[in-house]
Amino acid sequence: MELSKNFIPASVEGKWNKHWQQKGYFNSKPDNRPAFTVVIPPPNVTGVLHMGHTLNETVQDILVRKARMSGFNACWVPGSDHASIATEAKVVQMLDKEKGIKKADLSREEFLKYAFEWKEKYGGIIYNQIERLGCSVDWSRVTFTMDDHYYKAVINVFVDLYNKGLIYRGARMINWDPAAKTALSDEEVEYKDLQGKLYHVKYDLVSADGKNIGCITIATQRPETIMGDTAICVNPNDERYTKLKGAFAVVPLINRRIPIIFDEYVDPSFGTGALKVTPAHDINDYNLGLKHNLEVVDTLNEDGTLSAAAQIYVGEDRFKARKKIIAELTEKGFLVKEEEYQTRLGYSQRTGVVVEPRISTQWFLKMKELAEPALKAVVDGDIRIHPGDKFLATYKYWLENVKDWCISRQLWWGQQIPAWYSPDGTCVVAATREEAFMLFETQWSAGGDQFNDQLTSSPFTINDIKQDEDVLDTWFSSWLWPSEVFNGISDPGNAEVKYYYPTSVLVTGQDIIFFWVARMVMAGLEYEKQIPFKDVYFTGMVRDKQGRKMSKSLGNSPDLLELIDKYGADAVRFGIMISSPAGNDLLFDESSLEQGSFFNNKIWNALKLVKMWEARIDNSNSGDNSTFAISWFESRLNEVKTEVDSLMKQFRLSEALKTIYSLIWDDFCSWYLEWAKPGFEQPINDSVYQKTIAFFTDLLHLLHPYMPFVTEEIYHLLEERNEDLCVKQFAPISKVDKAILAKGNLLKDSITAVRDARNKAQLKPKETIELSIQSNEQSAYSDITELLSKQVNAKSFAFATDAVAQSINVVVGKDKFYLVTETPLNTGHQKEELEKELEYQKGFLASVEKKLSNERFVQNAKPEVVEFERKKKADAEDKIKVIEESLRAI
């Protein structure tokens, strides 16, 4: 068949995706093979995959494909997360724009109907992207965190933890998102350092009987909250304010009297030494308020506008109100001054708005008891973190400083909290309405006089009880992911969860170590009594060329499908992996995708070259010239297989790809094919051709986990196959002949040095030379002199005992090469080149000697590292000696 000039990804990607799925290669059922299980970190159903997802899914696919080809029963479970806050915001926006419907005008059931319709319409976009990327997931196992079995599992876990005393309900200061109108956990708040302003505001002071006794200045960053002030606090040891005992301050603009209180919490040296206390809007103020029994005045509505309690600018947005309040304070003489101030503000990860501290009644999960075994599992090494030196400390910090988790959200999209309230406000927790009513009946039967012993009917009916309006935090469902994708919670101990759990490796982003990773460990140990995964591989953050995190708001995140259309999925996978060592951030640049595309074409051109040989097979040709090439590449291939296997076990996937890339581009395409190919219009020996096909097949096999489409296509074009590459098992790795590898390196160095000398002497490619080598180890050149002569176009070869007159001198290691040519020599140029090389070698030697003279290095470095440096020193000294001899000869 006629092959295209270049590899065309679009012509093969859809074909192989369809073929693999029709064959069911990626569908997994328990059998007698060891399981290799990976669960996809479920992306939000709201949107599309960004480059961080692309990196994450590619890493997972590499590991899964490698495991599948290594004899494991690989099971990769895809799915998506319902993403309560983000999805509800999208649905609300869609209803408003497209249908003119406000959420407030709908019942909960009506809204959820629209939400599920939206999910069905847009949820498949992500799955299409995962498929286009070539991910070998088991599509029969797609899981969504709002599936019926999953929903029930989440509810059952809530009930269980409540019955264990780990879940409670109470009024506490929480983080409030005014845009989403819901509570957030501490971990859902991102803090940013900003340049803000500090406003110094004058408060009038009055005595207990109402007489004016002066004023006090208070510094605040948030003038819009002063209407919620319920005290002024000073340090009892601050002599400036001891006379204010029993006095009051007057809140500016609203003229409300508030007490002066004393507490050592206040730092007398900071600012004016006086602090306004606003219990409703600051966690520290809230704690002071509890201690001193202060009133709580909440001046903000749930949407961030000023409430009726603020008395002024009611209904105004908090930041617009700030400007108006500053203007009024200035106008009425209360604003003393304002100054620039370095501050830190918390932003909602979900909506990007400034978070408000707020007193709110919420549901909380006690975390300390769950965190201790999760911390121990990692510290003891039961779970291995990669790279551990970078992220182990972060994991430990989170769990050693864990706080109770606010798990309720004021939304409709999500698992509704299974708490039920009677008409008098009594609360019970149960999975269903029926179970809740039974609990109420149990209370009545045990209630004695409270319910009247003669009561013959219930005080209320089952329809009178109301379910809690809130839903659970999205992470409260996703922490069950490794277990519940196999129905481990909803059907404990089933055959699948026994076979696939614990999973093999979790691949995820470093930004959700506590959000998700640590919590999954907690849930796994609590409900499966074992860890959820054995290894955790943290990918780095994908950033643009300016170092910025990629985001939709900045518009710096490329569209994945557009990149695949432009470069092909293999090139995208190559580009994202070649520059992403484990855990390190990477600067995304499309040039790396271009490099992947060039690599595709390099392999494609190698295919075309080998297919050209197919018509020239001739068994009469002994192929002697190729004997060394075959032996050398066989050892080189096995050397790389061993190295790649080791690198992948260490999760050094980027380094493994670079090693494979170099093997294919340099060793196979640039060297082996050149050494093995027949002369112009000459036949090729069948054994050489078959060996070349075998080598090419092994290379495709090695590369397949990284670049599945181009490798599968070329694998089938090389020769007719009865087996697809994606399920072809890796063979045992053969031994490596170190001696032949050394000869191969010598041959490459010799060819490179002689070709470089020819170019500098401006010899035409067709112009032959006479080649002589002066070496103390002539045996090192056995088996390679014929290939060397062929590659440098030498018409004769000989070993020399002395310098050859009228020749071009070349130094290779400790040996001297002499090139005799009919072209007149420019000895001045030769001398100049040798002097440059001598200067370089002397500088290199000096740097090595400096390192070896450092006693700390010699004492602390590994013995093999020190020995390697000493070898470098000896080699440099030998080379300097040879160059100096060559210069004297010239």
Residues in CB range of 306: below 8 A, 6 or more apart: 224, 227, 299, 300, 312, 313, 314, 315, 316, 318, 321
Q: How far apart are CA 79 and CA 734, in angstroms?
A: 40
Instruction: Output Rg (C-alpha) for the chain, integer angstroms.
Output: 37
Residue 821 identity (one-letter amino acid): T
What is the spatial distance between Cα 293 and Cα 564, in angstroms, rounded to a whole number? 63
Alpha-carbon distance 890 to 883, whole Å? Answer: 11
Distances in whole angstroms, Cα of residue 541 to Cα of each of 52, 546, 557, 570: 7, 13, 12, 21
Give the closest residue to 774 by CA, choosing from 744, 812, 740. 812
Which H or E run contains 792? helix 785-792
Neighbour-count burial of 533, counting CB atoms closer than 10 A to its CB (0-12 exposed, 13-18 middle, 19+ buried): buried
Distance (Å, whole) CA 146 – CA 159:
18
Please, are residues 441 and 458 in contact by the beta-carbon 8 Å criterion?
yes
Q: Is 879 annotated as a binding residue?
A: no
User: Would you say 81 and 414 are in contact if contact means Cβ atoms under 8 Å apart?
Assistant: no
The candidate with the shortest Cα–Cα distance to 90, out of 204, 180, 225, is 180
- Stated as kind and residue range, the H or E segment containing 362 is strand 356-365
Rounded distance between C-alpha atoms, residue 380 and residue 525, angstroms: 14
Contact 63, 124 (CB under 8 A): no
d(CA 40, CA 130): 11
Please state at what angle helix 560-567 crosses helix 124-132, rounded to 10 degrees: 30
Give yes or no for a contact between 803 and 810, defined as CB atoms under 8 angstroms apart. Answer: no
Of 640, 637, 625, 632, nearest in space to 746 by CA: 632
Contacts of 595 by beta carbon, 8 Å cutoff, 6+ apart: 574, 575, 578
Q: What does the alpha-carbon distance between residue 189 and residue 402 come to, in Å, rounded to a whole number?
A: 15
Of 428, 432, 401, which is closest to residue 416 (Cα–Cα)? Answer: 432
Of 538, 220, 571, the C-alpha closest to 383 is 538
Specify binding-site residues. Answer: 552
Specify binding-site residues for ATP. Answer: 552
